[in-house]
Amino acid sequence: MSESTATPRTVLLRGGEVHSPADPFATAMVVERGQVAWVGSEGAADAFAQGVDEVVDLEGALVTPAFTDAHVHTTATGLALTGLDLSTARSLAEAMTRVRDFAAAHPHDRVLLGHGWDASRWPERRPPRRDELDEATGGRPLYLTRIDVHSAVATTSMLDLAPGVRRAAGFQDGEPLVRDAHHAVRAAAFAAVTPQQREQAQRAALRHAASLGIGSVHECAGPEISSEDDFTSLLRLAADEAGPRVVGYWAEAGTEGVERARALGAAGAAGDLFVDGALGSRTACLHQPYRDTAAAADTAAGVAAGGAGHTGTAYLDRDAVAAHVVACTEAGLQAGFHAIGDAAVASVVDGMRAAAEKVGAARVRAARHRVEHAEMLTPGTIAGFAELGLTASVQPAFDALWGGDEGMYAERLGVERARTLNPFAALLRAGVPLAFGSDSPVTPLDPWGTVRAAAFHRTAEHRISARAAFTAHTRGGWRAVGRDDAGVLVPGAPADYAVWRTEELVVQAPDDRVARWSTDPRSGTPGLPDLTPGAPLPVCLRTVVDGRTVFVRPDE
């Protein structure tokens, strides 16, 4: 990463605002041997000035713990950053223009890769057809994932690189690819990425994360997502070069998956171990049918065949969940599952309970197993999360992007069901640990935007305070991997922090109807930037991981 130091130095930072529960009025901090050594006042900082290697004048800047993004696909993020990104395309026509331009600009790429189309937000209300993509690319192989990465479109020549795909489950001519057909084409597309391209993408993603004040990412990999080589090369890169920490999860089920995860150096057989799919692709598994399947214009293959009454796709049932949790618990590894729909989340909770009956509830709770996304929760499944000690690894940006009475959630589910999604406040009230992430490249790496999205959830009853959201995006990610001593600036904690240019600090006090703000320092609560929608978000000036500087913003 840019601007790294070979070994941790003893540094005094002073003249700013330090976000620390150790001293809510702190203006200075000392870092020594990769740890926070002291936090305190400006006057007391004088005693340290002569005994440090470096004194940093913060000039009023804010120092916070570095963010942890608890759900990232690093290589895919880098490929989106350096490749064809359709997430901001406002129409099908604009998307097709970008495809043509990208193909023309990359004449030597064996396979063209792109990401981010979302037909539910386009006036045409449909994804690109294969014949349109064939024309736009001149017949070259192109693999183009929907924004949720659970379906894709591809050119004819791309399909030809995946033998047998036209007979696979999830293939229907004229519809986006899902299920086995999608996995086959994705594998063929990523097989065309060279090790050099992969490393460039990984570096690009980690550099970008560091520039946003992110000090750790949880890589959610697996055989249906990337490859073993992709996973191990990322872990090596993160170990060899200064940059954000990478905690790796390998999503493969059962005893073999547990053994593979351990052999690959994963923290757990967890992450995107799919119990279901995604709401946007209508593959999230529901108790009640999708509202819009019968008349949908961008229905994915297999969903269209289901028509009215379609309830999504279940990949793992209660018994499969239980078997995996038992295997992970007995091996001393975290288990985790991707579960979005209410039926899928219920299968996870039921499976966890069955596992607890076999190996003991205390052992299951101690393992801190995870559920990724967990969007459609009920009071019963929330209680199950609390009972079983499950961490909810969630993405507030999903609500910002797809929530509201006119958003994709409402289109898929109807307004009333859509209003139940992502109930962060209820999870916190029940005592469920939250870890925030982006699922990048599904939504961008954007930590302050994520905190804002949780504090200003489109459904008011699900909002949480900015302070609680900030904690979920800093300390919450560390707790999710079993570290309770990190993600906070107190003596003895790892020196993972970020320095920010921001406006006046405030304290948010939420209630059921509005968000109230105070700038009164007598509250004794460390302040945070004003995250009111429309207000400018903080700008990262420096990111430090383990006492080493991994990003410095160039002079502007």
What would the pLDDT profile of 388-446 be if each residue is shown by its tens digit?
A: 999 999 999 999 999 999 999 999 999 999 999 999 999 999 999 999 999 999 999 99
What angle, rounded to 10 degrees, do the helices at 379-388 and 342-359 form?
30
Side chain identity, residue 542: R
**DSSP assignment of 110-172:** SSEEEEEE-GGGSTT-SPPPHHHHHHHHTT--EEEEETTSS-EEE-HHHHHTSTTGGGSTT--
Residue 540's closest CA among 525, 524, 556?
556
Given this model, what pLDDT does residue 7 score?
A: 58
Residue 241's closest CA among 553, 555, 545?
545
Find out whether 501 and 539 touch, Cβ atoms under 8 Å: yes
Q: Decide yes or no: CATH 3.30.300.20 for domain 74-191.
A: no
Given this model, what pLDDT does residue 545 score?
A: 97
Residue 171's closest CA among 33, 304, 15, 32?
304
| Distance, CA of 283 to CA of 167 (rounded, Å) | 19
Residues 6+ apart with CB under 8 A from 273: 222, 251, 252, 253, 257, 316, 324, 335, 336, 337, 338
Residue 389's closest CA among 356, 424, 359?
356
- Look at the domain 11-65+488-502+538-552 and name its fold: Urease, subunit C; domain 1 (2.30.40)
Dihedral sign for Cα 525, 526, 530, 532, please. negative
Strands 142-146 and 152-154: antiparallel
Q: What is the pTM of this model?
A: 0.89
Provide the H-helix boundaries in 22-111.
42-45, 74-82, 92-105
Every domain of the chain and the residues it spans? 11-65+488-502+538-552, 74-191, 270-476
DSSP state of 456: T
Residues 6+ apart with CB under 8 A from 259: none
List the chain residues with pLDDT less than 50: 1-5, 294-306, 511-522
DSSP state of 288: S
Residues 6+ apart with CB under 8 A from 108: none
Q: For residues 376-415, b (16+ Cβ closer than 10 Å) or e, as one string?
A: bbbeebbebbebbbbbbbbbbbbbbbbbbeebbbbbbbee
**Look-up: residue for tokens 């320092």?**
521
- Look at the domain 270-476 and name its fold: TIM Barrel (3.20.20)
Count the neighbouring beta carbons within 10 Å of the beta carbon of residue 514: 10
- Name the β-bridge partners of 373: 339
Given this model, what pLDDT does residue 40 score?
A: 95
